[in-house]
Structure 1
C-alpha cells in the first residue's frame, strides 16, 4: 500500500471506526490512517513483567497477578467496591468508585486476576483505583504479557486509551517498508521513517526509557528532524515565491538623508550604520526585501527605520509603518513628525479610533499620495486603505503579529509590484526561533547601545516591604527624578487591569500627597493617554501609574526608577521590555521587582535572571527554556510554529543541518518539497499559498 493511499485512507476504513468515532478522532487532528501513525505516545507504561505484591511501592504503575480473596461494598464519604487480591508475597485492595452490578458479581465469584494500575497508599494499605484487569484461566501461559512497552496517547472525550491503541495497532499492520515514502537521503546511523514510527508506538521491553522521556531517542529525533524541516520548507518556499515578484527599485538621491542625519543631536553608532547599509542595498534591488531588524531596548531601531523610510520617499514611493498598539504607533508618529516634517514630508495617522471626517481626510491623503508616510495600527491593512504607490512596509514589534498579518500589507502594492518589508522587534529572538519562525526573513542585528547608556540596577523585593518602596519613590522624586509604577494582572482583561491601576493610583495619592501622579491604561481614550504621556515627558507628572501598555516605545529620559508589581506573572522578555523604559538618560537608574510571596520555583528563577543580566538575547534564550516558543513568540504567532513532535529548545541543534537540507531540496528536488509539507502541515500550510 503506497504512502499516498495511507495518506488518503480515511480512518473509517478501519475496523470499529464509524462516523461518530471519526468525529471524535478529528478533534485530535486525526483524519487518515497516516494521521494515526503520526499520533505519537506522550509516555509509556511497562506491562511486560509482573511485580510481586509484596514488592510494590506507592506511586508506581505495575502489573500484578493474584487470587480474589473477597469483594465487598464500602461506605464512607463515597460508596465504593473493594476487592482484595493476594499472591504468595502479599495482599492489595482494588477500589472502584464507579461499578456495575455485573462487575460486582463477577469479582465476587473469586478466581485469578491480572491487574494493571497505579499503586497508592490508601485507608486499607496499598490500593489500586480503577485498575485495568482481566480474568486468567487455569493456564495463564495462554494469556501472555505484553512483549513491548504500552503507549499512552493524547486522547479526546469519547476516545479512551484502549480504543486508540486498538485502531493504531490496525494502522501499524498496514505499515510496510514501502508504505511511507522516504523523502530524505538515508543516514545509516538514523532509523528509516517506518522503523522510527513502529519503534515509538511499540518500543521493546528493554527500550531506554530515559531517552524516550527526554525526546532524545534516535527514532524521535528522526521524526523531529522531518517535522522541523517541513516548517522550514514552508517558510523558505514562501520566501522563494515572494522573491519571484517584482518590487520597486528605491534608488533616490541622498540629499534629504544627509539633511536628516545632520539634524540629529547624536551620531549613529557603528551598528546602526552597518544595518542601515544592509537595508539600503536591499531596497535598491528589484526583488522584495524581507528583513528582520533586531535590536535590544534603546539600541536605536527607530532611527534606522526612518533612514529606510527616507530612501523610499526620495524614490517617489510611500511608506507604511504599522505598530501593534496605539501608544507605540503614537510614539512613532511623534518621532517621525519631529524628524521628518521639517524636511517637507507629510505623515498620515490611521488607527481604529480615528473615525468620521478625520478618517476620511487621512484616507484621502494616503490615496492621493499627499502623505508620503502612513503610520498606524493594523487599521492600515484594512480594505478601504488604498495607497498611491506603496514602496516600503515597516512593521514594529513583529512578535505581536502572525505571518499571515505580515503578508496582508504586501497586497497593497501597485502595478504588479509588491512592497519591500522591514520587520522590527525590540524583543530579542533566540537563534533557534529566528532560524525557524523567521526562516523567510534575512536578519540584521543592532548589537550596540548608544554611548552614555548605563545598565539599570535591578532589585527584587517582597510586597511585604511595600512601604519601604513607597519611601524610595518619594526620595527619588524629591531629587527631581521621575518614576513608573507598573501594575500587572494575570487575567488578560483590560477592564480588570484598568481597575487595578486605578486602585493603585488612589492608594499612592494617599501615601504620597505631595507628588503629581498620573494614570495610564488601555481603556483611556487616545487623547487622554496622549495628554498624560505629554505631561509625564514634560515633567509635570512625577509618578506615572501604568499597566503594561507602556511596555514598548515610551521614551522619557528623566525617568530613572521603575516599580513593577507582581513581576512573577510576566515573561522575561516582557520584564526586559518594561525595564528598558528607564535608564534612557544620564542618571543612574533602578528597577524594583515587587513580588507577592510565596514565589514558585519558576518565578524565583525568572526574577533571579532579571537581576543577573541585561543582555536581551541571553534573557530571550532563558525565556524560551522556561516558557516555550508559543509563549515567547506571543499567542498570535503560535500557529506559525505548531510543532507536535519536535521541541525548538531541545532540538535546536538540528536546525543548521535542517536549513542545509531544506535549501538542497528546494534546489535539487522541488517535487519532494510539497509532499513533505503536506505530510506534516496538511491544510495548515496556508502561508505558502502565494
Structure 2
C-alpha cells in the first residue's frame, strides 16, 4: 500500500462517506483516497487577516470587520437586503439577494460583523454580494484562519466544507503510512517530497504568495506536475516499446507502380513531400508496426503523401483503410483517391453511415474478400461487422479528433492474429513542438513544411462590421466580374447549433436580397449529411457563387476556384479555428483574400489574435502565438487535440518543463527502469493500460 500511495484505500474508509457522497465524488474523478489527494485546489482564499475597507480592491477576495451603520430592504424587481458596514477607514455595502427575517433582525445598527467575499465596484461604495458573515458578540475574540483556505472544483451537492473535511482525513492517513518516494534526489529537481508537496498544497501557510500558487509556479506544484508528466512520458515510451515487439508486414515495392503513378500527376511532389514519403517507406519496410504522425499546414499536400503510402501497401497485395472524422471529408478523399488510383486498376471502396442496405452489404463483402484494396470512410470503418481481408495500413486523417485510446483501439481492431497494421496519422492542426513531444510521444513525427508551387499567399485584413456594405460589394465584384467563388462564414460561439443555423439562414436571406444576381448556397450543422454533401458538391462544381456556412467547413473542403472568405464575428474565434477556416481559400493559382469582420470595440486578446492572423500564414507560428496569447488560463481541450487528461499538470501552462521531463525520463529508462511501472501505476493506473498497447 505504501508504494502505491493510497490508491488501494476506498473512500468509504473516510468518516462521513457513504454511497451518496461516493457517487458525487466519482463525478469529479475521485474514486479512492489517492484521487482525493491529487484533487488539488483550483484557487486559494486568504482568510488569515483582516483587510481595512479603504485598502480593498475590486475583484479580490477579502475578510473585513466593522460595525453595522444601517440595514434596509431595497425594493425593486426583487427585494434586496442591504447592510452598510464601517471600520473607521471607509464604508462597504453587504448585499443579500436571498434573505430571511432572522438575517435582517440580526444585522441591526451597532452590531459588530466579520464578513468574507468578493469585492465589487458599487454605485456609491464597494460592495460584497452574498458574503459569508459572522456576528461578533461582546468581547468574543476574532477567530481567523491559520492557513490559506483551499477552494476545490466540485459538483452539485458537494460543498467546499465537506471536501475540506474529507481532505483533512486523507492528509491524516498520509501521515500514518510510509509513502514510498519514487523520485529520490537523483531524479527530483525540486525541494519537496511527494508527501510534503501534497500536504503543503492542500493547506498552504499564510506567508506563501497566492498569486504564485494560482499561476501554478510554486515549487511544490512543480514537484507534482513534474512527476505526473514524467509518468505520462514513460507511459508513451512504453507504448513505443510495446509496438516494436509486435509483428507487421514488411513492405517494399514489388513493381514500377510508384513511378507510373507519379508520372500520371500534373505536378511534381515538393521536396518536403518527397522527404516525408521516404521516412514513411523506411518505416513500412520494418517488421514492426509504423506509428507515424504527419503534421502539415493547411494545403501542404498530406493527401498525396498518404496516397503514396497506400500505393506501397497495395503493391504488396494488401488493403489500406483511411478514416476521416466527417462524411464530407471522407467523401472528398474517396473522390481524390478514386481519380488517382482507379486508372491503375485499384478499387476504391467507401463506407460511411449513409451507405445503407444492399450497397452496404455489397461493400462489406468486397472488403472481406479483398475485391477493394483502398477503403475510405468515417469511424464506421471500425465497427464490428467490418471484416478486412488483409489490412496492412491504417491512415487516420485529422488526428486532433482522435485520442490516444482511439489510435490504440484502431490498431487492435485492424490486427489479424499476431500481425498488426502499420498506422499513419495526419493532422492539419499544427501543434507547437513542445506539446507535440508530450501528446504524441508514442509516435514518430514528420513535418511537411513546404507548400506546393502555384499556391498564392492569402491577403488577410480585419475590418469592422460597420463597413459591411463595402464587403458585400467586394463579394459581388469577385463572384460576378472575376468569376471566382466565395465563402461567408457565420459564427455564434457558446450558442446552440439551432441558433447558429438560424443566424446562417438569416444571413443567406440578407445576402440574397443584397446580391440578387448571385447564386447563393447555405450549409450548416443542422442539415442532414446528404443535404450538406449536395450543397458542397454544387459549390465544388461552380453552380454556387457564394456559400454561406457555419464553421462546418473548417476541415478539409477543397475548392480551388474559391478565393475570397468572409468570417463574421472573427473576434470570437480562436487562432487555430481562424487558421483552419482561412485555409479553405488560397488553394488555386489566383490571389486569395480573407476578411476578418469584427464588432468594435475589440478587446486586448481579440486584437492580438487578429494581428497574428494578418501577420502570419504559418500554422506552426500561429500555434506558438496561440499559446502565448492564451497563457496559463486555458488548457488545449481534450476534444480538440486528443490529449490525455491530467490530474495536476496543464500542458499549456507547464510546457516549459517538458524538455526537463524528457531528459529525466531517458535517465530513468537507462538507470532505473523498474521505476517506470511504479510511476505509471501511481498516476495513470487503471485509466489506460499502456503496457498492453
Please report the TM-score for the alignment, with normalisation by the length of structure 1: 0.89
Displacement of 1:124: 9.1
Q: For the aligned residues, what is the CA RMSD?
A: 3.4
Displacement of 1:46: 2.4
| Paired position in structure 1 for 2:40 | 40
| Paired position in structure 2 for 1:147 | 146
Displacement of 1:341: 0.9
After superposition, what is the alpha-carbon deviation per residue over 1:561-589, rounded to whole angstroms, capped at 9, x for unaligned? 22222323433222212212222222211
Change in 2 beyond 3 A, CA 1:94/1:413: closer
2: CA distance, partners of 1:491 / 1:118: 26
| Paired position in structure 2 for 1:420 | 422
Unpaired runs of 5+ in structure 1? none
SS at match of 1:651: helix
| Paired position in structure 2 for 1:656 | 659
- Work out whether 1:433 is the aligned partner of 2:432: no
Unpaired runs of 5+ in structure 2? none
Q: How does 1:541-690 map to 2 (within 5 A)?
A: 541-626=544-629, 636=639, 640-666=643-669, 668-685=671-688, 689-690=692-693
Change in 2 beyond 3 A, CA 1:309/1:135: same
Displacement of 1:23: 3.4
Among 430, 442, 445, the residue aligned to 1:443: 445
| Paired position in structure 1 for 2:309 | 308
SS at match of 2:157: coil
After superposition, what is the alpha-carbon deviation per residue over 1:519-575, rounded to whole angstroms, capped at 9, x for unaligned? 444566666655554554444443333333332333333322222223234332222
- Work out whether 1:348 is the aligned partner of 2:349: yes
Q: How does 1:390-409 map to 2 (within 5 A)?
A: 390-409=391-410
1: CA distance, partners of 2:366 / 2:191: 60
Of 405-414 and 254-263, deviating more is 405-414
Change in 2 beyond 3 A, CA 1:71/1:14: farther
1: CA distance, partners of 2:290 / 2:45: 52
Of 84-93 and 331-340, deviating more is 84-93
Displacement of 1:665: 3.8
| Paired position in structure 1 for 2:460 | 458
Please report the TM-score for the alignment, with normalisation by the length of structure 2: 0.89
After superposition, what is the alpha-carbon deviation per residue over 1:485-538, rounded to whole angstroms, capped at 9, x for unaligned? 333343676655555444433433333233344444456666665555455444
Displacement of 1:93: 6.4
Q: How does 1:260-275 map to 2 (within 5 A)?
A: 260-275=261-276
Q: How does 1:470-549 map to 2 (within 5 A)?
A: 470-477=472-479, 478-490=481-493, 497-521=500-524, 532-549=535-552
| Paired position in structure 1 for 2:225 | 224
Q: How does 1:79-98 map to 2 (within 5 A)?
A: none
Change in 2 beyond 3 A, CA 1:17/1:85: farther
| Paired position in structure 2 for 1:157 | 156
Displacement of 1:599: 4.0
Question: Does the 8 A contact of 2:401 with 2:642 survive in 1?
Answer: no
After superposition, what is the alpha-carbon deviation per residue over 1:212-236, rounded to whole angstroms, capped at 9, x for unaligned? 2211111111111112223323333
Of 75-84 and 443-452, deviating more is 75-84
SS at match of 1:305: helix
| Paired position in structure 2 for 1:199 | 200
Change in 2 beyond 3 A, CA 1:278/1:191: same
Question: Does the 8 A contact of 1:487 with 1:497 survive in 2?
Answer: yes
Question: Does the 8 A contact of 2:5 with 2:180 survive in 1?
Answer: no
Question: Does the 8 A contact of 1:349 with 1:362 survive in 2?
Answer: yes
SS at match of 1:324: coil
After superposition, what is the alpha-carbon deviation per residue over 1:174-204, rounded to whole angstroms, capped at 9, x for unaligned? 3339643222232364311122122222222
| Paired position in structure 2 for 1:360 | 361
2: CA distance, partners of 1:479 / 1:61: 60
2: CA distance, partners of 1:540 / 1:427: 30
1: CA distance, partners of 2:466 / 2:109: 63
1: CA distance, partners of 2:332 / 2:632: 28
| Paired position in structure 1 for 2:382 | 381
Displacement of 1:79: 5.7
2: CA distance, partners of 1:606 / 1:215: 25
Displacement of 1:87: 6.0
1: CA distance, partners of 2:524 / 2:86: 66
Of 183-192 and 265-274, deviating more is 183-192
Displacement of 1:356: 1.1
Displacement of 1:367: 0.9
Displacement of 1:319: 0.3
Displacement of 1:112: 6.2
Change in 2 beyond 3 A, CA 1:582/1:206: same
2: CA distance, partners of 1:300 / 1:54: 63
SS at match of 2:175: coil
After superposition, what is the alpha-carbon deviation per residue over 1:35-71, rounded to whole angstroms, capped at 9, x for unaligned? 33222222222233334566656655444456x6689
1: CA distance, partners of 2:108 / 2:238: 65
